[in-house]
Amino acid sequence: MKIQLSDHFSYGKLLKFTLPSIAMMIFTSVYSVVDGFFVSNFAGKTPFAAINLIMPVLMIQGTVGFMFGTGGTALVSKTCGEGDREKANRYFSLFVYLAFAIGLTLALLGFFYIRPMARLLGAQGELLENCVVYARIILTALPFFVLQVMFQSFFVAAEKPHLGLGVTVLSGVTNMVLDAVLVILLPQELKLAGAALATATAQVVGGAIPLFYFFRPNTSLLRLGKTRFDGRAVVKACTNGSSEFMSNISMSLVGILYNLQLMKYAGENGLAAYGVMMYVSMIFSAAFIGYSIGTAPVIGYHDGAGNYQELKGLLRKSLRIIGAFGLTMTAAAQLLAWPLARIFVGYDSQLLELTVSGFRIFALAFLFMGFAIFASGFFTALNEGLTSAIISFLRTLVFQSAAIMILPLLWGIQGVWISVVAAEFMAVLLGAGFLVAKRKKYHY
């Protein structure tokens, strides 16, 4: 039986409805990790370090998709809950067209400033050239990457989460197959370019297929069509999605800070070790992000419909589910630290030891990470963009920046790994404070 946004959600139904979004985000992370695996093992440590160095800059480019995806979904879902499907589709169409145009503009600009940006991050010689080659190929697909990220949220709002998962799987398989073919078979000097081409092609697949689906008559709640510019709706969507926008920009900026500190305390080995942790962390944190994406349209719908008892139940069930996720992930990370690190950097014993010891400390952050991610997403879904943005801004920029600048002074390279744990713990306290402060306003 099809699950609808208007349903009452038990634990089982909530997990069943959000599972495609969770799987979608995990699979997205997995195929990103595949790039790292092939480049590290077949292209070498320097190309692998180059990807890790330039990736935060590339991710900043894609944040517009997260902003219009989460912020736009909140507004569209609320409008559906209020019973105005025609207006919801106008909003949906406006956000898709605008996001694609912004993505295209950013891609064109990126071709010119990626080299000076890589130099600013400390890249020189071969590392610099690798950064530029990889980034410019990825930028060719940026408009479609923006759409891919955006549609991950809108598939849920359209009551088609399984279709969204299918598109993500197809995109991921495309990337994996092309990675295996291009990185392994191409000459050494072209392996990094092959990995970039594999990722860019997968992003085009992930963005173009939903575009065709929503343009054609379909059985979902949403369809692309004619629209008109609505400045108020755009501002509202941007405000709603400002937390995710800020979160992704902040994570990228903090990633740059991490890279600078790692270059200082551990050199190129530090960059490679951190890259492994980020790849594995992406898979674990993707479950939290996917759950937040999956529940957001449900929360927005029931808020718009005034079903406050259901809203209260959704919050309580979600906090318990996230707590169980966090405990499971932390235990798994401790057990899997060595075999996961060996997959990426088993060819270098010193780098392997650094990666394993760092990851076991870093992984403690999974105990706290999900609560802060969900709290931010919860307020986005309620169209409380400012509150959500404050949580994200402090969590991803202020707390982590302060920790990464201060703790290494006390504990050296160990302080780098501890910093993310300290920042996530502070973010949990902040999120809990806002949930308590806002409970009367939203009757949860």
437 vs 192: CA distance, rounded Å:
50
Indicate the pTM of the whole model. Answer: 0.69
Counting residues of the chain whose pLDDT is more than 70, the rounded percentage is 96
- What pLDDT, in 10s, does the model give residues 418-443? 988 999 999 999 999 999 888 887 77
Query: Is the model's pLDDT at 27 over the cut of 80?
Result: no
Q: For residue 354, give the amino acid letter.
A: L
Q: What is the pLDDT of residue 342?
A: 83
Most confident range (mean pLDDT) of 225-234, 249-258, 279-288 is 225-234
* Spatial contact of 270 and 53, defined as CB atoms under 8 Å apart: no
* Spatial contact of 231 and 78, defined as CB atoms under 8 Å apart: no
Distance of CA 17 to the CA centre of its chain: 20
201: nearest Cα among 176, 226, 238, 234: 176
Banded model confidence at residue 244, pLDDT cuts 50, 70, 90: low
Q: What is the pLDDT of residue 400?
A: 84
Distances (CA, A) of 14 to 20, 51, 157, 438: 11, 37, 14, 23
- What pLDDT, in 10s, does the model give residues 175-222? 889 988 888 888 888 898 998 999 999 999 999 999 999 988 888 888
At a CB cut-off of 8 Å and minimum separation 6, what does 426 contact? 394, 395, 399
CA atoms within 13 A on the CB side of 279: 28
